[in-house]
Structure 1
Amino acid sequence: MTISRLNFRAAILLGSLLIGASPALAEAVLHRGNADEPQTLDQAHTSINIEEFILKDLYEGLTIYDASGKIVPGAAESWTVSDDGTVYTFKLRPNAKWSDGSSVTAEDFVFSLKRVEDPKTAAGYANILYPIKNAQKVNKGEVPVDQLGVKAVDDKTLEITLEQPTPFFLELLAHQTALPVSKASVEKNGAKFVQPGVMVSNGAFKLAAHVPNDSLTVMKNPEYWDAANVKLDKVIFYPINDQAASVRRFEAKEMDIVYNFSADQIDRLRKSYGDAVHVAPWLATYYYTFDTRNPPYNDVRVRRALSMAVDRDFLAKEIYSGSQLPSYSMVPPGIASYGEPSKADFADKSQLDREDEAVKLMKEAGYGEGGKPLDIEIRYNTNPNHERVATAVADMWKSTFGAKVSLRNLDVASHYAYLQEGGKYDVARAGWTADYADAENFLALSVSGNKTFNYSKFNNPKYDALMEQSYKERDPAARSKILHEAEAILMAEQPVAPFLTQASLWLVADKVKGWQDNAPDQHLSKYLSVSE
């Protein structure tokens, strides 16, 4: 059989049209490095950010973080709060659907929140939602699950009652623990509800495939209420915990995004890739704590002097290669509801001026040259960088005050258990990463009634009163002012000496659009796109 000249020309024309159309028809695929294999895709058992990154693409909570790290409506289109700040009424989006096409209902959220607090679930992060009325009692098995303060008023109206006003409650609802599950799917499939081909989700994407230790693929969810604005067709997460291998795959253009590369590569990568290298302040503080129960650390002059003598710029640049940033406040920068933190009053002085003032303060307190000898033990959890920091700080205190400094390290579990159980010490390394983007999460650590995390045993009635006042204040600006006053006291007294703000490290290819660095380190794929 022969093809006619007319049909031949038509075939050529059709072929050229298809070729010209192919770029527009090509899938928009984002390749994301994710540092390790997720241990679970069950929001009740999630605990780490590499799971969070995936889960927040699959599911959408009542509130979410936008591309800039601000809290915005998610599955709830709006909400109201009672005059006393204890009852939140959420209106779910009328077009919010699960990936199987069924409607997302208030009962799904009631079921999900009860599931998290039910002691039978054994959710590791159940405490994040303890502000909900009876949540702690339910979780500890003291009252029945049906007494949790959550209620479906109707299919699209959810009411949540709190124990007391909690100004940061909307931030808590953006945590991965508060992500909903489909009641129908969980009741039908049990623990298998997390599997590809079974999972029913309400986020911008749905689970397509998961090959453990190789890749996890999510596809655009056509049932998502805002699907029209989701620009990606597919996101592939790669669980590569070898940082060098991740960088190599980025350089080979096999991955578009790499999470958490080795800090010693920052300078080299910046020379080669410029703005693709992102080093952004994160909501995490690296600090030393002083045992204020014992002399000389019960003397504010000694604590201030020791803190001032630490060269934070050296720690940030020489030990962490710029992957952490010098800090003079307990609250890290970047919290929208708080603004610029209250820094220690010596923050703007040169290091030489700080050291001169530190020597004077130490002499006033009767220690150092010509006074009582300083014999200091620094405790830290075993880690090469923590050891390098402790060694550097010890050298600074030796050279500035003539102190005799020794180091003691324990594994991380033993180190924190010792501090949390009230063991006596001189100086100890500690760190805190925000559970939610609110200054209270950092400042509450030093309330005298915090028996677990107030390692310094700091006890200042005015500080405690300000923190208590902050829980009752409904006006955001007034509350921020109160919290700033509390932090100013903390930084003047220095029971804790913040040294560094941790930075998040990402490589983001130029082809990726929509990326914004933000302190909560939230980067939902729904806000991203790729261009060739």
Structure 2
Amino acid sequence: MARTTSVLQRYGSALLLALAAPAVPAQATADATAQLERGNGPEPSTLDAHRCQEVACGNVLRDLYEGLVTEDAQGRLVPGIAERWTVSADGRTWTFVLRPGLRWSNGEALDAAQVVASFRRAFAPATAAPFGELFDALDGARAVQAGTLAPERLGVGAPDPRTVVFRLTRSASLPALLTLPIAFPVYLPAVERHGAQHTQPGRLVSNGAYRLASWTPQANLVVEKNPQFHDAARVALPRVRFHVTEDAAAELQRFAAGDLDITEVVPPQPLPALRARFGEQLRLSPYLGAFWLGLNTTQPPFRPACASARCAEQALALRRALTMAIDRDKLTRYVTGLGETPAYGIVPPGIAGYAPAAMPWASWTQAQREAHARALYRHAGYSPERPLVLELRYNTSTPHRRLSLAVAAMWKQTLGVQVRLRNEEWKVFVQNRKQRAITQAFRGGWIGDLPDARNFLAAFANDGPLNWMGYDDAGYRERLARADAAATEAARNAWLRAAEQRLLNDNAAIPLYFYTSKHLVSRRVRGFQANALDRHASRWLSLSP
């Protein structure tokens, strides 16, 4: 997503200040017909909040819904539909008190019982919520998702219409987790009436600052201000249009032409030229995200060819050879080129109290890495006469294509690997990656849901839908379990680091770089503020005349 024992100990004064002082609202525009035009990357895979697993749907859902806790423009935790909350001394019981008079976008009342019912639906096996595993501290969550416990036994209840109580099996940073789409209240009568089609315009009932007005597949999605929202008076923008912008170069040209107010990304270009062209409209800032390539360890060539120790050793040697053959300095300097930093680990820097792990050879020169990679490649049984033939899969995107071409060239030049590149539309790519049936090497990575190292590591610990590599290691799981049981934050972080180091030593994923957030933002947009999770809900934005 951070695991906490108390608000004061783990969030400190920053959270208390955020709770005490409401976020400064955007300045309202005088034009009631104004519409913000936002680039949003690929087509959202779903608008079912409980099933969302990528940035594209998360951006839209944060406009349509609001959870018990939300974030302001600077990324600070602030009250959402809950006006306040408390935590028990042992950090295992959290009590949230809802605002009075909450309503859905259709005008119906929203109460605590509906919030609880929505949580039960989110963790039911039929929902198959991909982020459910991040709530493993919630009492009964794992068993409910596995189908061995009734959803009614989930550790969340409503003692009265305005109170929601959560029971945890260990201390955890529940408020931060409650900002995720899986924790948004979903209007269940629409789900019961329309099933998967409850997300369509005219059917989707939400509770956030906006409601869904239209959705044109592979083109755009429009949301309009929700008059039933509890803070509607301070929502400045009457309408927002999210554009599908898979081609980053085309997105930039649309911005330059005035068709977009905010881009989702900026294509790889020389930074001085971009600054000269766009000036202060180019927004670059640190971002809690890591880009890596995944290796499917359940299929050849990364699964051992036999049950012997030698076969396992050869499979590991191949994974390490591919990892070491990539020149990350060249990638970040010439291919991405917008402030990204080379990555030799899975967890990005910047998480308080956590010292990230790194590949054992991170301090070597690139020449040393490549020489060792060639030796490992030969040890794995490959040679110029018998080269590895490998498919590298990525979702359709100009930056991903450029990076994949560069990686393929490095593998070819250093090792002699014959790489076949395969790009897929986002929904197809996500499905194939999750199934682990035809993938070999593929585009991966993780954008932080909250500033916690465990958020970047949890997916590798089980056979869930986010473990795209099929990584299966008892020692790794043991280290995560010890982190969960740790009595202090220092001990917890030490075990998390040990888990990350074990994962890196096994080379199931190939770290490439740590992200920066990069957007082009029109001069007429007000309220856009950088934050580590790069979330920019439209309710905090406005347009100058």
Q: Do Structure 1 and Structure 2 share a fold, with TM-score over 0.5?
A: yes
* Alpha-carbon distance between aligned partners in 1 of 2:409 and 2:195, rounded to the nearest angstrom: 53
Q: Give the match for residue 432 of structure 1.
A: 445
Question: Measured at CA, do residues 460 and 177 of structure 1 come closer, stay the same or move farther in structure 2, by a change above 3 Å?
Answer: closer
Q: Are the aligned partners of 2:235 and 2:539 in contact in 1 as well (CA < 8 Å)?
A: yes
Unaligned runs of 5+ in 1: 1-22, 399-403
Q: Are the aligned partners of 2:393 and 2:439 in contact in 1 as well (CA < 8 Å)?
A: no
Q: Give the match for residue 509 of structure 1.
A: 522
Q: Give the match for residue 9 of structure 1.
A: none
Q: Are the aligned partners of 2:355 and 2:497 in contact in 1 as well (CA < 8 Å)?
A: no
Q: Give the match for residue 341 of structure 1.
A: 356
> Residue type of the partner of 1:524?
A
Q: Give the match for residue 523 of structure 1.
A: 536
Q: Are the aligned partners of 2:317 and 2:377 in contact in 1 as well (CA < 8 Å)?
A: no
Partner of residue 328 from structure 1, selected from 321, 344, 352: 344
Question: Measured at CA, do residues 474 and 234 of structure 1 come closer, stay the same or move farther in structure 2, by a change above 3 Å?
Answer: farther
Question: Measured at CA, do residues 299 and 147 of structure 1 come closer, stay the same or move farther in structure 2, by a change above 3 Å?
Answer: closer
Shift of 1:250: 1.6
Q: Are the aligned partners of 1:167 and 1:474 in contact in 2 as well (CA < 8 Å)?
A: no
> Residue type of the partner of 2:64?
L
* Alpha-carbon distance between aligned partners in 1 of 2:335 and 2:171, rounded to the nearest angstrom: 39
* Alpha-carbon distance between aligned partners in 1 of 2:444 and 2:58, rounded to the nearest angstrom: 21
* Alpha-carbon distance between aligned partners in 1 of 2:278 and 2:158, rounded to the nearest angstrom: 51
Larger Rg: 1
Shift of 1:156: 1.3
Q: Give the match for residue 107 of structure 1.
A: 113
Partner of residue 392 from structure 2, selected from 370, 381, 388: 381
* Alpha-carbon distance between aligned partners in 1 of 2:201 and 2:323, rounded to the nearest angstrom: 52
Q: Give the match for residue 15 of structure 1.
A: none
Q: Are the aligned partners of 1:62 and 1:74 in contact in 2 as well (CA < 8 Å)?
A: yes
> Residue type of the partner of 2:536?
H
* Alpha-carbon distance between aligned partners in 1 of 2:390 and 2:338, rounded to the nearest angstrom: 24
* Alpha-carbon distance between aligned partners in 1 of 2:120 and 2:343, rounded to the nearest angstrom: 40
Q: Are the aligned partners of 1:287 and 1:496 in contact in 2 as well (CA < 8 Å)?
A: yes
CA deviation digits over 1:231-279, x for unaligned, max 9?
A: 3333232335454543333222232112235335866543310232345
CA deviation digits over 1:94-146, x for unaligned, max 9?
A: 35443455543111211212223345556566555565444454445444433
CA deviation digits over 1:333-359, x for unaligned, max 9?
A: 35x456563344654x5x7x4534775
Q: Give the match for residue 275 of structure 2.
A: 270
Q: How does 1:346-425 map to 2 (within 5 A)?
A: 347=362, 349=363, 353-356=365-368, 359=371, 377=388, 379-383=390-394, 384-385=401-402, 387-394=404-411, 397-398=414-415, 405-407=417-419
* Alpha-carbon distance between aligned partners in 2 of 1:111 and 1:389, rounded to the nearest angstrom: 48
Q: Give the match for residue 76 of structure 1.
A: 82
* Alpha-carbon distance between aligned partners in 2 of 1:389 and 1:249, rounded to the nearest angstrom: 27
* Alpha-carbon distance between aligned partners in 1 of 2:80 and 2:536, rounded to the nearest angstrom: 15
Q: Secondary structure of the residue that 2:263 maps to in structure 1?
A: strand
Q: Give the match for residue 42 of structure 1.
A: 48
Shift of 1:459: 5.2
Q: Give the match for residue 179 of structure 2.
A: 174
Question: Measured at CA, do residues 339 and 380 of structure 1 come closer, stay the same or move farther in structure 2, by a change above 3 Å?
Answer: farther
Shift of 1:468: 1.7
Unaligned runs of 5+ in 2: 1-27, 296-301, 395-400
TM-score scaled by structure 2?
0.72
Number of aligned residue pairs: give it.
Answer: 494
* Alpha-carbon distance between aligned partners in 2 of 1:124 and 1:112, rounded to the nearest angstrom: 16
> Residue type of the partner of 2:119?
L
Q: Are the aligned partners of 2:326 and 2:407 in contact in 1 as well (CA < 8 Å)?
A: no
CA deviation digits over 1:387-437, x for unaligned, max 9?
A: 524433325635xxxxx5444667888999799879999xx5562324733
* Alpha-carbon distance between aligned partners in 1 of 2:196 and 2:434, rounded to the nearest angstrom: 37
CA deviation digits over 1:444-479, x for unaligned, max 9?
A: 455599999495968584x55432221123644543
Q: Give the match for residue 455 of structure 2.
A: 441
Shift of 1:188: 7.5
2:499 is the counterpart of 1:499: no
Q: Give the match for residue 116 of structure 1.
A: 122
Q: Are the aligned partners of 2:323 and 2:507 in contact in 1 as well (CA < 8 Å)?
A: yes
- More displaced stretch, 300-309 vs 337-346: 300-309
Question: Measured at CA, do residues 25 and 497 of structure 1 come closer, stay the same or move farther in structure 2, by a change above 3 Å?
Answer: closer
2:329 is the counterpart of 1:313: yes
* Alpha-carbon distance between aligned partners in 2 of 1:451 and 1:377, rounded to the nearest angstrom: 28
Give the share of equivalent positions with the same residue, in percent: 31
Q: Secondary structure of the residue that 1:526 maps to in structure 2?
A: helix
2:73 is the counterpart of 1:67: yes
Q: Are the aligned partners of 1:432 and 1:442 in contact in 2 as well (CA < 8 Å)?
A: no
Q: Are the aligned partners of 1:109 and 1:180 in contact in 2 as well (CA < 8 Å)?
A: yes
* Alpha-carbon distance between aligned partners in 1 of 2:54 and 2:104, rounded to the nearest angstrom: 25
Question: Measured at CA, do residues 514 and 294 of structure 1 come closer, stay the same or move farther in structure 2, by a change above 3 Å?
Answer: farther
Shift of 1:29: 3.8
* Alpha-carbon distance between aligned partners in 2 of 1:471 and 1:315, rounded to the nearest angstrom: 36
2:289 is the counterpart of 1:283: yes
* Alpha-carbon distance between aligned partners in 2 of 1:333 and 1:321, rounded to the nearest angstrom: 19
* Alpha-carbon distance between aligned partners in 2 of 1:450 and 1:225, rounded to the nearest angstrom: 36
Shift of 1:181: 2.3
Shift of 1:524: 0.8
> Residue type of the partner of 2:172?
P
TM-score scaled by structure 1?
0.74
> Residue type of the partner of 2:523?
D
Question: Measured at CA, do residues 86 and 291 of structure 1 come closer, stay the same or move farther in structure 2, by a change above 3 Å?
Answer: farther
CA deviation digits over 1:163-219, x for unaligned, max 9?
A: x33635444432222211245666678777545566543212233455556554333
2:246 is the counterpart of 1:234: no
Q: Give the match for residue 99 of structure 2.
A: 93
* Alpha-carbon distance between aligned partners in 2 of 1:327 and 1:35, rounded to the nearest angstrom: 24
